[in-house]
Every structure is written in structure tokens, then in C-alpha cells.
Amino acid sequence: MNDLSITGNTLTMSSREIAELVGSRHGDVYRSIERLIGRGAIGGYTPTPYTHEQNQVQYLEYLVGKRDSYVIVAQLCPEFTAKLVDRWMLLEQQAADGLPQTFAEALRLAADQAERIEQQQAQIAAAAPKVAFVEQYVEGTGLKGFRQVCKLLGANENEFRLFLADAHVWYRLGGEWVPYAEHIAAGRFHVKTGQAGNGHNFNAPKFTPKGIEWIAGKWASYKLQGAA
């Protein structure tokens, strides 16, 4: 659970978060907060409704400030104060890393996210003809080598080679690139073996039509992530 909230420009922590931290029932923490409010030891908070994730029933919780959270934990379990300090440091770092602090910032964040989604959708739409071409192409053709697939996908050979290695599609063995066994078993590659004129044995991995269709999808996703 991570019940960081922002009230105005103030970070708050929920009574449920405190209960989880100290290993107590939320009802006990809730009643302790009410007693401390009654004594004037902490601020006069108003309960806030929340919907339980499992049963979708609405209950009440308190959202308290940093200073008052220390008072509450000191009353409940003083030995957990260090954990509370660590949790506040984490929550404040998360807020500093980009959580909107004002309504205007929240609107700007939502607009930026919407703009990124629109750009990704446009990129997908632009890639659709190429994907359709690949699907049509692989239906009636056979095995294709590395350079043929690069040309088909419009991919830079060096970038595509590194992509296949990073994605654990193939690996270097004795100066040759060899597909992982799982991809051969899945029918994505056929490894042709032979002997060169100088007596050197070689392995030549070829993409099957199924493999071309599969790697085209992987490559498109990789390029979209890089453009996002």
C-alpha cells in the first residue's frame, strides 16, 4: 500500500498506511487518532471516506500530516518510529520525482500523457501498412537471412543485430550468431549447416515465415518504445 496524498500543497499519510507500518489493525489506529484529537495532541482532522479494494464497501480513514503521524506512532509503537521516518523519506522523494503538487500541475501531466498516447497511436497507424505488408509477404515466401529481414523491416543492420542479442533471440558462438534453442523449437528459425570450400563447417540461421512475422512485431514494439 502506498497511501500518499496531497491536501493543498501538504503531504499526508493515511491511518491505513500507519496501521500497516506498525502491524496494527486499522480500527485500533483509527480510535487512537480520535483519542489524540480529543486531547488536542494532534490536529482536528475530519475522517475521509475510501472504498475498500476487495469488497468495494466504503469505510472511513484519517489523513494526517507528518508531525502528527510521529505522535500517533509514538503512542502506538515507539519502536516503529525509525520505519516511519524511512517511509516519509520515500514518500517525499516520490513527490519530488514528479507527482503533481497543484491542480494546474495535475492538468499539465494529464495533457502530456494524452499527447504521448496520441503520438504512439499515430506511430502505430503509420506502421500498419508495413505490418500488413510483412504479413502478406511471409505467407508465400520461405526462409530469409539476416540482411533480407533487415531490408524487409527497414532496419539498420547494426542496430537490429544488437536488438536480437539484447532480446535474447540469438547469441555469439564460435564467431557465428546462433538462435537460442527455444526460438528454433518454436519454429522461428531454421539453422542451415554446411561446409565451406576450405573445409570450414558453418551454421547459417534463417528466419522462417513464422519467425519474420514474430520478430516484426517485436521490432515494432522496440521502435515505439524508443520513440516514446
Examine the domain organization and report whether 137 and 166 are in the same domain.
yes
Distance CA 125, CA 220 (A): 12
How confident is the model over 55-74, as pLDDT tens digits?
888 899 999 888 888 888 87
Of residues 139, 138, 156, 134, the one with CA closest to residue 147: 156
Q: What is the mean pLDDT of residues 160-185?
A: 88
Radius of gyration, CA atoms only, the chain: 29
Examine the domain organization and report whether 90 and 136 are in the same domain.
no
Give the count of alpha carbons within 13 A of 26, CB side only: 12
Q: How sure is the predictor about 34, in pLDDT bands with cuts at 50, 70 and 90?
A: very high
How confident is the model over 88-126, as pLDDT tens digits?
777 777 666 555 555 566 666 666 767 776 776 666 565
**What value does the mean pLDDT of the chain take?**
77
Examine the domain organization and report whether 82 and 135 are in the same domain.
no
Examine the domain organization and report whether 199 and 95 are in the same domain.
no
Examine the domain organization and report whether 193 and 166 are in the same domain.
yes
Examine the domain organization and report whether 111 and 10 are in the same domain.
no
Domain range spanning residue 46?
4-99
pTM above 0.75, yes or no: no
Q: What is the mean pLDDT of residues 40-60?
A: 87
Within 10 A of 101 (CB to CB), how many other CB atoms are there? 15
Distances (CA, A) of 29 to 32, 41, 62, 119, 178: 5, 15, 9, 47, 60
Residue at a domain's end among 99, 134, 165 = 99
How confident is the model over 177-223, as pLDDT tens digits?
889 989 988 889 888 776 555 555 667 788 988 888 888 888 888 87
Q: What is the mean pLDDT of residues 47-51?
A: 89
Q: Give the CATH number, domain containing residue 80.
A: 3.30.1370
Examine the domain organization and report whether 137 and 32 are in the same domain.
no
Our count of domains for the chain comes to 2
Examine the domain organization and report whether 167 and 89 are in the same domain.
no
